[in-house]
Amino acid sequence: MAISQRLHNFSAGPGTLPLEVISAVKEELPLYQETGASVMEISHRSAAYIAIEASARAALRRLLGLGEGWHILFLQGGASMQFHQVPLNFLPRAGSADYLITGTWARKAFAEAKRLGGARAAASSADEAFAYIPQRYDPSLSAAYLHFTSNNTVYGTQYSAAPDAPVPLVCDASSDFLSRPIEMHRYGLIYAGAQKNIGPAGVTVVLVRDDFLRRRNDALPTMLDYGTHAAKCFNTPPVYAVYVVDKVLQWLERQGGVAGIQAVNAKKAVLLYDAIDATDFYRGTVRPEARSQMNVTFRLPSTALEARFVEEAAEEGLAALKGHRSVGGIRASIYNACPLPAVEALVSFMRAFEKHHG
Ligand SMILES: Cc1ncc(COP(=O)(O)O)c(C=O)c1O
């Protein structure tokens, strides 16, 4: 199959990867460097793999300006495992943590925390079907941390800045990680499933600050203790996924790092939101100030037209535009690796579709 048959891919996750990365992976798949084997077939204790992890960590440190006080972990279990692992480690047995409830994933994280102890919903946008980001919340000075979801993949909202908090922030950044700079000093821990912005499914990147890590509970199960993985390579990491993540990070540096990609992301988002706002045929689903730069959600005048839109778009080579099954509508996920021409193609398709069906 020719590479030209690749579609413009708007999948919400696993999402599109840079073509440069896919090509490099294809090239070296049967034989990785001097190892005499594929990267999938070498020991995680080998010099070749240790160099891959070191390279990925170094790139992350450069991209986010991370000092030595930060641990970078490559874990498994998806972001969903983090919903449990965070409170297991950091929710004190007799204490509490605050959660901001801004969508499906935030709710799931909160539910896991409640299973383990005193978690409190400090704000929620459930009253308006998660169409906004709460600007105010009721902070608790005694909370062990404040958990929030920086980008709400299902609803298409995003924090424009991290919430002000008197306690360390813990963030699920799965769907906007490395799409813009992060004020790291305000965080205790950030986690992100790789499969949207930084690689394939199978690895979750966790950044945890050393002084925050030292506050964790004791007597934790070994595999679920962040300290285990901060101390050493405890068990077999997802070698292949980390290898691809490293390649995506090198690609990101070539795009000018997070500041460079942020500018491209802004351009793509403006193009798409302008197309939505230009007409009554398309209707954005969230408050304008809460709009996500990563997942652009909108509706058409009827669900029948929406189904037709998705179908005809696919025929034009624009894939995976169907909204999340829980909310319907259209969702274009325009993560870092979604190139500007893909968004331009979508916008011209939207104009043509309206002309025919509007
Ligand atoms: C913001 C966010 N958090 C968590 C998850 C769940 O991730 P995983 O499937 O890796 O557990 C998703 C998946 O789409 C997500 O978008």
Q: Which two tokens stand for residue 224?
A: 């679920």
Q: Walk me through the domains of the chain, giving residue ranges and CATH numbers.
A: 23-254 (3.40.640.10), 257-357 (3.90.1150.10)
What's residue 339's pLDDT?
Answer: 97
8 A C-beta contact, residue 50 and residue 246: no
What pLDDT score was predicted for residue 1? Answer: 59
- Ligand 1 mean position to 13 CA, how many Å? 8
Q: How many residues does the chain have?
A: 358
Distance separating alpha carbons of residues 222 and 189, to the nearest angstrom: 19
Residue 243 near residue 52 (C-beta atoms within 8 A): yes
- Give 268-321 pLDDT, tens digit per residue: 999 999 999 999 999 999 999 999 999 999 999 999 999 999 999 999 999 999
308 CB-near residues (< 8 Å, 6+ apart): 357
Ligand 1 atom 10: residue of nearest CA: 78
Residue 179 beta carbon below 6 angstroms from any ligand 1 atom: no
> What are the contacts of 118-122 at 24+ separation with CB within 8 A?
118/91, 118/94, 119/87, 119/91, 120/96, 122/98, 122/146
What is the CB-side half-sphere exposure of residue 205 using CA atoms within 13 A? 31
pLDDT value for 138 = 84
CA distance 177 to 179: 6
**Structure token pair of residue 98:** 């605050």
Number of CB atoms found within 10 A of residue 291's CB: 22
Does ligand 1 have an atom closer than 6 angstroms to the CB of 171? no
- Output the pLDDT for position 358: 85
Tokens of 217: 């509970």
Catalytic sites, residue numbers: 105, 172, 196
Q: By the 8 A CB rule, do 90 and 217 touch? A: yes
> Could you tell which of 75, 107, 175, 203 is best to mutate to test the pocket of ligand 1, judged by most ligand atoms within 8 Å of the CB?
175
Q: What is the 217 CA–ligand 1 centroid distance (Å)?
A: 25
Ligand 1 centroid distance, CA of 203 (Å) = 12
Pocket probe for ligand 1: among 107, 153, 177, 331, the residue whose CB has the most ligand atoms within 8 Å is 153
Residue 183 CA, ligand 1 centroid: distance in Å: 22
| Structure confidence at residue 5 (pLDDT) | 87
Low-confidence ranges of the chain (pLDDT < 70): 1
Pocket test for ligand 1, best of 80, 150, 170 (most atoms within 8 A of CB): 80
User: What gap in Å lies between CA 65 and CA 63, rounded to an integer?
Assistant: 6
- Identity at 25, one-letter amino acid code: V
